[in-house]
């Protein structure tokens, strides 16, 4: 039996062993996490079916299980059955359904396995239903039953226990930063160039995706080079540097809030003024927008920015100068769903690329109408759905190929990973870079 | 069959029931927890709401509509006919004559609208994917509304159909809050939430495109 099959079986065993009390508890959980907005949205779906082609899963596999309205109505069926009068009286008439083992299996397969919470169906819904929000409520209900796919749950648990989702030990992180500082000094030709750690009072606390120190350390050097060129006062934290928040994907609001709160407390502890969220789409969405719903307004007016916005600010203010002739290959830009469609950081990366590369070409569609690369929603963690993920990325691969670009820039490390896999799978022959890497290469240093 | 005044009052009562039930449905959403206070709104959020009810309804802004223009057109005509038929019913219930200038156009609209409704019903029944996500309510709601439109047309042409229109109107109003026709209210609710969401996050209306002119 393969490792994936074993993991799947554990969930199967748990589903088989579910007791009535557990299902009742799950319903209470669902009831408690839905707010009045969700209840209104639950009354709104017309099942017009026009959302079908907005979904990259459906584009790759036009089966009913991949249809956004089908996925949404799996959650709505339960809502109607237990929380509406007609659903209690005549469930079959309005498509209401019991929360039983069969429904749980469908939820697991569709809500986790066929959705990246990218929000494209939401943006294009004829009514405007926040489909990912309701699907996430379904995921959260599964989380309350300990039915989150184990690979994703393990990422969440590691983040909570170790402070970062890759389980990097504190000393390893500090050693990495120290080593990278030497790289930075060589790169900028300035022995005094620093990658500060735990510097109290630094204006910026910079957070990163732990995949960077683990697999892409040079992207940290790129960011440091930009800070150095801009003469910024910034620091890393030894303990709280992880911008990711996989609680967003598991649907567990409590854990998501815990992770978000930790970063806020670190900003306070270090006395920083701005929390800068590194190139991580879901990290930006989670901390900038969603966290307020998990932990509320903390009473502090914490300024939070994407590193993209910070870099663009440096260029606008003349703190760094860019030379596009230093990036000659044709470049295209992938818009991470959580940063762009759900995050609102849309034009700054374009502003930067137009100044940092000599040939920039947009994908079609782009900006808030972009297609998900397929790596979001925790899909990269859930190895059991890897084949679907790669197939769902086909439309993104076709978009990239159509641009003729040789470099794909993605301001999100999850997207970078997925695009790297798509590059191999669909033989695109491109390089995948972050915005910081491209900008750092174009930075003109004095002298 | 029934006395005309009985039917009129029955329709009025059913309409009141529909409004009351819709109001109750909205109130029932507030039995769920209140959105977190952090979910505040600002000027940008309200611009998003303006967008949601304005440009955001255009097919070039909404892929689901843009890629299905025939369905969109049918939907617009269908709903226009429904609102016209409701106005027509209002005149009948008040015993007021329908303005002559509106009589002929409204009859044409009722006819076209009923055909659009029927076409949408056939589309739902014949498209496997659409059938798979449908429940009996989807068909019933369509049939009730189509019958309402058809009888509005017939009653507008010949008063002999008036009783039948009133009977179908009664069914229509009673069914309204029970099934998907409740979207006549929740559509607006959802669009407001849509606008607030994307407006607050500076996604819509497209700030970048505005800046680029």
For the stretch B155-167, pLDDT in tens is: 999 999 999 999 9
A407: three-class secondary structure by DSSP: strand
Contacts of A296 in chain B (CB under 8 A): 36-38
Query: Looking at the predicted structure, is the pLDDT value of residue A21 above 50?
Result: yes
- On average, the pLDDT of chain B sits at 92
Contact, B17 vs B179, CB < 8 A? Answer: no
Query: Looking at the predicted structure, is the pLDDT value of residue B213 above 50?
Result: no
- Which residues, 6+ apart, have CB-to-CB distance to A234 below 8 Å? A196, A199, A202, A203, A204, A205, A206, A227, A276
Contacts of A129 in chain B (CB under 8 A): 190, 194
Q: Which CATH number fits domain B4-35+68-178: 1.20.950.20, 3.40.50.720, 1.10.3720.10, 1.10.579.10?
A: 1.20.950.20
Cβ contact, residue pair A125, B127, below 8 Å:
no
Which whole number is the average pLDDT over A284-307?
Answer: 86
Contacts of B179 in chain A (CB under 8 A): 86, 93-94
Strands (E), A367-433: 407-409, 431-433
What is the pLDDT, as a whole number, of residue A402? 97
Backbone angles phi, psi at A332, to 5 degrees: -120, 165
What is the pLDDT, as a whole number, of residue A5? 64
- On average, the pLDDT of chain A sits at 95
Tokens of A203: 């204006």
Contact, A205 vs A232, CB < 8 A? Answer: no
Q: Which of A7-16, A271-280, A414-423, B197-206 has the lowest mean pLDDT?
A: A7-16
- Say how many CA atoms lie within 13 Å of B195 toward its Cβ: 22
- Tell me which H or E stretch contains A235: strand A234-235
Contacts of B207 in chain A (CB under 8 A): 346-347
Query: In which band, very low, low, confident or very high, does the pLDDT at B36 lie, cut at 50, 70 and 90?
Result: confident
Strands (E), A9-120: none
Query: Looking at the predicted structure, is the pLDDT value of residue A100 above 60?
Result: yes
Handedness of CA B165, B169, B175, B180 (dihedral sign): positive
Which whole number is the average pLDDT over A330-356?
Answer: 97
Domains of chain B: which residue ranges? 4-35+68-178, 42-61+181-213
Question: In whole angstroms, how far apart are CA B171 and each of B19, B87, B160, B164, B178?
Answer: 14, 17, 19, 11, 11
Tokens of A74: 């799996």
| Dist. CA B59–CA A126, nearest whole Å | 10
| Dist. CA A334–CA A266, nearest whole Å | 31
Which whole number is the average pLDDT over A196-200?
Answer: 96
Cβ contact, residue pair A346, B35, below 8 Å:
no
Query: In which band, very low, low, confident or very high, does the pLDDT at A82 lie, cut at 50, 70 and 90?
Result: very high
Query: Looking at the predicted structure, is the pLDDT value of residue B192 above 60?
Result: yes
Statement: the pTM of the whole predicted model exceeds 0.90: yes
Query: Looking at the predicted structure, is the pLDDT value of residue B37 above 90?
Result: no
Query: In which band, very low, low, confident or very high, does the pLDDT at B43 lie, cut at 50, 70 and 90?
Result: confident
Query: In which band, very low, low, confident or very high, does the pLDDT at A445 lie, cut at 50, 70 and 90?
Result: confident
- Say how many CA atoms lie within 13 Å of B77 toward its Cβ: 22
Question: If you search the block for the tokens 């009562």, which residue do you land on?
Answer: B13
What is the pLDDT, as a whole number, of residue A212? 93
Which whole number is the average pLDDT over B29-53?
Answer: 85
- Which residues, 6+ apart, have CB-to-CB distance to B2 below 8 Å? B10, B163, B167
- B97 DSSP 8-state letter: P
- Say how many CA atoms lie within 13 Å of A41 toward its Cβ: 27
The packing angle between helices B69-94 and B4-29, to 10°, is: 130
Cβ contact, residue pair A43, B36, below 8 Å:
no
Backbone angles phi, psi at A443, to 5 degrees: -65, 130
Q: Which of A80-89, A254-263, A438-447, B139-148 has the lowest mean pLDDT?
A: A438-447
What is the pLDDT, as a whole number, of residue A359? 97
Q: Most B CBs within 10 Å: which of A32, A37, A120, as the mutation test of the B interface? A: A37
| Dist. CA B5–CA A73, nearest whole Å | 43
Query: From edge to edge, which strands make up the β-sheet containing A303-306?
Result: A234-235, A204-207, A274-277, A303-306
Establish if B190 touches chain A: CB-CB under 8 angstroms: yes
Contact, A322 vs A225, CB < 8 A? Answer: no
Query: Looking at the predicted structure, is the pLDDT value of residue B207 above 70?
Result: no
| Dist. CA A435–CA A142, nearest whole Å | 36
Which whole number is the average pLDDT over A141-164?
Answer: 96
Gap from B203 CA to chain A (nearest CA, Å): 5
- A300 DSSP 8-state letter: S
| Dist. CA B162–CA A106, nearest whole Å | 48
Which whole number is the average pLDDT over B102-114?
Answer: 95
Establish if B95 touches chain A: CB-CB under 8 angstroms: no
Question: From the list A43, A124, A293, which residue is nearest B63 (CB)?
Answer: A124
Query: In which band, very low, low, confident or very high, does the pLDDT at B212 lie, cut at 50, 70 and 90?
Result: very low
Cβ contact, residue pair A46, B133, below 8 Å:
no
What is the pLDDT, as a whole number, of residue A275? 97
Residue-wise pLDDT for A397-436, tens only, equals: 999 999 999 999 999 999 999 999 999 999 999 999 999 9
Query: In which band, very low, low, confident or very high, does the pLDDT at A29 lie, cut at 50, 70 and 90?
Result: very high
CATH number of A3-147: 1.10.1060
Domains of chain A: which residue ranges? 3-147, 156-316, 324-442
The size of the A-B interface in CB pairs under 8 A is 164
Tokens of A154: 């393990």
What is the pLDDT, as a whole number, of residue A301? 73
Query: Looking at the predicted structure, is the pLDDT value of residue B3 above 90?
Result: no
DSSP structure string for A411-444: S-HHHHHHHHHHHHHTT---EEE-HHHHHHHHB-
| Dist. CA A285–CA A245, nearest whole Å | 9
Query: Looking at the predicted structure, is the pLDDT value of residue B9 above 70?
Result: yes
- Give me the residues of B, 67-86, that contact A with CB < 8 A: 67-68, 71, 75
Question: From the list A31, A64, A94, which residue is nearest B129 (CB)?
Answer: A64
Task: Give the chain A residue whose CA is nearest to the CA of B189.
Answer: A40
Judge: domain A324-442, CATH 3.40.1350: no
Establish if B127 touches chain A: CB-CB under 8 angstroms: yes
Name residue A204's beta-bridge partners. A234, A274
Gap from B173 CA to chain A (nearest CA, Å): 16
Query: In which band, very low, low, confident or very high, does the pLDDT at A4 lie, cut at 50, 70 and 90?
Result: low
Query: Looking at the predicted structure, is the pLDDT value of residue A258 above 60?
Result: yes
The packing angle between helices B100-126 and B69-94, to 10°, is: 130
* Percent residues over pLDDT 70 in chain A: 97
Task: Give the chain A residue whose CA is nearest to the CA of B184.
Answer: A44
């Amino acid at each position: 039996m393969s490792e994936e099959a074993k993991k799947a079986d554990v969930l199967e065993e748990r589903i088989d062993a579910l007791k009535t009390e557990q299902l009742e508890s799950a319903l209470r959980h669902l009831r408690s996490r839905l707010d009045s907005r969700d209840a209104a949205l639950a009354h709104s779906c017309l099942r017009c079916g026009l959302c079908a082609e907005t979904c990259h899963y459906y584009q790759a596999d036009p089966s009913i299980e991949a249809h956004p309205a089908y996925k949404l109505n799996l959650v709505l069926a339960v809502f109607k059955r237990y929380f509406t009068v007609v659903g209690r009286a005549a469930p079959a008439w309005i498509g209401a359904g019991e929360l039983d083992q069969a429904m749980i299996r469908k939820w697991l397969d569709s809500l986790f396995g066929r959705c990246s919470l990218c929000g494209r169906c939401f943006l294009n819904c004829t009514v405007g239903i926040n489909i990912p929000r309701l699907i996430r409520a379904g995921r959260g209900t599964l989380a309350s039953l300990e039915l989150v796919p184990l690979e994703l749950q393990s990422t969440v648990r590691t983040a909570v226990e170790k402070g970062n989702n890759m389980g990097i030990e504190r000393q390893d992180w500090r050693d990495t930063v120290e080593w990278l500082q030497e790289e930075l000094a060589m790169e900028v030709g300035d022995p005094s160039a620093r990658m500060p750690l735990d510097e109290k009072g630094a204006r910026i606390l910079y957070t990163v995706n732990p995949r960077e120190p683990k697999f892409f350390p040079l992207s940290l050097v790129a960011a440091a080079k930009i800070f150095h060129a801009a003469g910024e006062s910034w620091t890393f934290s030894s303990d709280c540097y992880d911008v990711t928040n996989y609680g967003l994907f598991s649907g567990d609001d409590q854990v998501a809030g815990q992770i978000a709160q930790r970063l806020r407390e670190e900003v306070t502890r270090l006395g920083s003024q701005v929390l800068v969220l590194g190139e991580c789409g879901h990290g930006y969405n989670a901390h900038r927008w969603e966290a307020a719903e998990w932990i509320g307004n903390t009473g502090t007016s914490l300024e939070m920015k994407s590193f993209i916005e910070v870099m663009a600010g440096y260029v606008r203010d003349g703190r760094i100068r860019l030379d596009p002739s230093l990036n000659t290959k044709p470049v295209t830009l992938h818009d991470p769903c959580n940063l762009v469609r759900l995050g609102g950081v849309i034009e700054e990366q374009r502003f930067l690329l137009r100044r940092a590369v000599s040939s920039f070409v947009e994908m079609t569609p782009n900006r808030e109408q972009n297609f998900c690369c397929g790596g979001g929603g925790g899909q990269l963690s859930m190895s059991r759905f890897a084949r679907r993920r790669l197939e769902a990325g086909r439309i993104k691969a076709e978009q990239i190929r159509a641009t003729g670009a040789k470099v794909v820039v993605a301001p999100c490390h999850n997207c970078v990973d997925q695009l790297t896999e798509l590059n191999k799978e669909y033989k695109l022959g491109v390089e995948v870079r972050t915005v910081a890497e491209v900008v750092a290469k174009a930075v003109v240093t004095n002298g | 069959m029934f006395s005309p005044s009985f039917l009129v009052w029955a329709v009025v009562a059913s309409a009141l029931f529909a409004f009351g039930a819709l109001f109750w449905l909205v109130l029932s959403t507030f039995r769920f927890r209140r959105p977190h206070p952090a979910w505040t709104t600002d000027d940008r959020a309200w611009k998003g709401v303006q967008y949601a009810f304005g440009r955001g309804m255009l097919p070039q802004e909404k892929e689901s509509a843009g890629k299905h223009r025939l369905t969109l057109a049918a939907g617009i005509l269908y709903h226009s006919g429904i609102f016209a038929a409701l106005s027509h019913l209002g005149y009948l219930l008040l015993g007021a004559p329908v303005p002559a200038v509106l009589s002929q156009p409204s009859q044409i609209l009722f006819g076209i609208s009923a055909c659009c409704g029927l076409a949408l019903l056939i589309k739902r029944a014949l498209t496997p994917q659409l059938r798979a996500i449908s429940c009996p309510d989807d068909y019933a709601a369509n049939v009730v509304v189509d019958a309402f439109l058809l009888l509005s047309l017939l009653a507008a042409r010949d008063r002999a159909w008036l009783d039948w229109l009133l009977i179908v109107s009664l069914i229509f109003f009673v069914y309204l809050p029970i099934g998907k026709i409740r979207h006549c209210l929740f559509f607006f609710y959802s669009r407001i939430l849509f606008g607030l969401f994307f407006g607050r996050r500076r996604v819509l209306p497209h700030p970048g495109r505005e800046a680029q002119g």
